[in-house]
Amino acid sequence: MKIHKLVAGSVIAGLVTVGSAGAAFADTTAPPGSSHPAEARHDRRCDRAQERLEWLRAKKARVEAVVDWLQKARAKAEAAGRTELVRKIDAVLAKYRHEYQRIEAAIDRVQRYCHVV
């Protein structure tokens, strides 16, 4: 019986120690330069998003160039009466236009999240 009381007392003392250490850990302040950890996370994400935004803008320019080239090729094929080629170019143009819309949507999301233009 005395052993049970001794073990129970040790367990309670251990729980109190761990509990107070947890409370002390939770009471620590945020890292310097940030008033809240969520703000620090937002800042890190926006820093990475700036790099992503540059990449997206470059990709958008490449897609625009390809779309322009395809439209010229389509006009040339249509003038030559090559309907099968026009149909194939239209299919490729549809894919690139869809990709362009996806890129613009991603750019818009980054700009709204990080409040950049």
Residues 15 and 41 reside in one and the same domain: no
**For residue 12, what are the domain limits?**
1-30
Position of tokens 């620590």? 28
Residues 45 and 11 reside in one and the same domain: no
What is the model's pTM? 0.59
Residues 59 and 2 reside in one and the same domain: no
Residues 45 and 60 reside in one and the same domain: yes
Are 107 and 53 in contact by the 8 Å Cβ rule? The answer is yes
State how many domains the chain has.
2
pLDDT per position as a tens digit, 22-36: 555 555 555 555 566
Residue ranges for the chain with pLDDT beneath 70 = 1-9, 11, 13-39, 42, 117
Residues 108 and 59 reside in one and the same domain: yes
What gap in Å lies between CA 113 and CA 44, rounded to an integer? 12
Q: What percent of the chain has pLDDT over 90?
A: 47
